[in-house]
Amino acid sequence: MPLSIQNLASRLTFRQLQVFKAVNDLKSYSRAGELLGLTQPAVSSQVRHLEQALGMPMFEYVGRKLYGTAAGEEMASCVESVFLELERVQNRLAALEGQVAGELRLVAVNTAQYVVPYMLSAFLQLNPQVSVSVAVVNRATALQRLNDNTDDLFIMGMVPAERPLTSLPFLDNELVPIVPRGHPLLNQHSVTAQAFLDSNLLVRESGSGSRLALELHCQGQRLRTKPTMELGSNDAVKHAVLAGLGVAVLPKLGVLSELALGSLHILEIKGFPLRRSWCVVYPQARYPTPAMRAFIDYVQQNIRQFEQMFLSR
């Protein structure tokens, strides 16, 4: 016999519903755990308690892939409505106070990590009721999360043209060729791009936007690239250059301190710097929440201020 509404409500928690929604959206216990900051056993436990309360399994594996059961699909529709209505209530309550409120989930590619904190500082002063979370990932992971549609806005430099996306460029991203203090190339009157690329090129991992930008440039200019080492972050590449392991093409904003100290130098090479724009991106079919719209409007209204801020640095 089905549980009464009162009994069911007493056995369910919002945390269980939140975990269920994450697993259902991502079709993965481990990725749901990463999203919510939980271990995989904790995610499994929450789903198991939900299934015990409802008396039906919510998920099943076919091979190695996770699928929702018929009961899970019904529950997913219900949970989606519950959280959508909670978000609407939160926004309406905030509107009564003349403020924007709600959650804003940002995903920033690694190269944008030097920019996002400065953008958020003034935005949160204007909108203190908005709760912001920021995930810093490489471009490949950002594209996967964009496909999953579990985040609100994405900040990236190379926007995929094959997807229906809304994109707002807001700041130039210069990728510059750098060498450490005392490097032999600094003694040459002129340096060709190929000579630079042949000087122990250090690169980000496959899937990185800055690496893709360099590879596309080299393909267009018929330049050969043979990286001597791959590293997992821009900071790791920067420190490898500082240690004398090679040369690299990195975002200028990420090496400003080292340039000022003279521990790194930018080479003047034809075709460089590579110029891209950081953009705020989201799917065209996505209807912006009030928090999303507030952030988009804030960026659009402050493009000139961002340019001045980072030029002064």
Q: 243-283 pLDDT, tens per residue?
A: 999 999 999 988 989 999 999 999 999 999 998 888 999 99
| Range of lowest pLDDT (30-39, 44-53, 83-92, 302-311) | 83-92
| Range of lowest pLDDT (187-191, 208-212, 220-224) | 208-212
Residues 72 and 113 in one domain: no
Choose one of 91, 120, 155: the last residue of a domain.
91
Position 288 scores a pLDDT of: 85
Distances (CA, A) of 287 to 76, 87, 154, 269: 20, 13, 15, 44
Report the CATH number at residue 130: 3.40.190.10
The confidence band for 98, taking pLDDT boundaries of 50, 70 and 90, is low
Residue 2 pLDDT exceeds 60: no
Residues 69 and 125 in one domain: no
Residues 152 and 140 in one domain: yes
The confidence band for 23, taking pLDDT boundaries of 50, 70 and 90, is very high
Position 132 scores a pLDDT of: 93
Residue 83 pLDDT exceeds 60: yes
Query: Mean pLDDT in the chain?
Result: 88
Residue 205 is part of which domain span?
A: 173-276
Paired tokens of 264:
């790194």
Choose one of 57, 91, 125: the last residue of a domain.
91
Report the CATH number at residue 30: 1.10.10.10
Task: Tell me what the mean pLDDT of segment 303-311 comes to.
Answer: 81
Residue with tokens 């190929």: 194
The confidence band for 97, taking pLDDT boundaries of 50, 70 and 90, is low
User: What percentage of the chain exceeds 70 in pLDDT?
Assistant: 94
Residues 181 and 159 in one domain: no
Residue 195 pLDDT exceeds 60: yes
For helices 290-301 and 303-312, angle between their N-to-C axes, nearest 10 degrees: 60
Task: Tell me what the mean pLDDT of segment 109-135 comes to.
Answer: 89
Please indicate, yes or no, whether the overall pTM of this predicted structure exceeds 0.85.
no
Residues 294 and 255 in one domain: no
Choose one of 60, 91, 122: the last residue of a domain.
91
Q: How many domains does the chain have?
A: 3
Residues 160 and 192 in one domain: no
Residues 150 and 13 in one domain: no
Q: What is the pLDDT of residues 145-156, one digit of tens each?
A: 998 888 999 999
| Range of lowest pLDDT (70-74, 83-87, 163-167, 266-270) | 83-87
Paired tokens of 291:
């928090």
More confidently predicted of 287 and 300: 300
Position 281 scores a pLDDT of: 94
Residues 249 and 179 in one domain: yes
Position 1 scores a pLDDT of: 43
Q: Is 132 left (phi over 0), alpha (psi -120 to 50) or beta?
A: beta
Cβ neighbours for 61, distance < 8 A, ≥ 6 positions apart:
67
Q: Which amino acid is at 208?
A: S
H, E, C per residue of the chain: CCCCHHHHHHHCCHHHHHHHHHHHHHCCHHHHHHHHCCCHHHHHHHHHHHHHHHCCCCEEEECCEEEECHHHHHHHHHHHHHHHHHHHHHHHHHHHCCCCCEEEEEEEEHHHHHCHHHHHHHHHHHCCCEEEEEEEECHHHHHHHHHHCCCCEEEECCCCCCCCEEEEEEEEEEEEEEEECCCHHHHCCCCCHHHHHCCCEEEECCCCHHHHHHHHHHHHHCCCCCCCEEECCHHHHHHHHHCCCCEEEEEHHHHHHHHHHCCEEECCCCCCCEEEEEEEEEECCCCCCHHHHHHHHHHHHCHHHHHHHHHHC
Task: Tell me what the mean pLDDT of segment 212-235 comes to.
Answer: 92
